Amino acid sequence: MSKPKTKKIAFPAGGIVARENSLTGRQQTVPPHKAVAVPADYADHLIHERVAYDPDAKDAPSKPSKVKQATDGDQVAADADERAKAAIAAAETKAKEITDTAESKAIKVGEEAEARAAEMITSAETRAKEIIEAAEAEAASIVKAAEEKAKVSGQKDS
């Protein structure tokens, strides 16, 4: 007796049969637990890899009941809600850490800028004072020289 050329398989969570392995010649999207015929060697491969199962076998999983599916859906939604809340909380915590770090760095940069500005003002004031003192000394020297010259020239005139 020869081996059959096709075999039925079903996917526990749904699956896709590629065009190359589809008997229709097109890619097929297969819902969970729906039987579909494919080439026998491909079916055996998927069954061996536990990607699919033989729906006619005694140990084939049964379709979950509608009540079970609804409960599973509710559980999936509740789990997704929990994960979303955890992700939001983690994001808020990370955002607060980043904000706090940025604020402390900004304060530090501001303090460093104020200190540098104070140093520059002090340096400028010191330099200005030195220039003014030098100018005053120069002016006093010029005035003294002019007075002496006036005094000497006044003595010659008398």
Around Cβ 68, how many Cβ atoms within 10 Å? Answer: 10
Residue holding tokens 């079970």? 68
**Structure confidence by residue, pLDDT tens digits, 95-153:** 888 999 999 999 999 999 999 999 999 999 999 999 999 999 999 999 998 888 888 88
Query: Within the chain, what is the greatest distance between any pair of CA atoms?
Result: 155
**Structure confidence by residue, pLDDT tens digits, 22-58:** 999 999 999 999 999 999 999 999 999 999 999 988 7
> Rounded to two decimals, what is the model's pTM?
0.39
52 within 8 A of 14, measured Cβ to Cβ: no
- Euclidean distance between CA atoms 118 and 114, whole angstroms: 6
Please report, for the chain, how many H helices and E strands are present, in that order: 2, 4
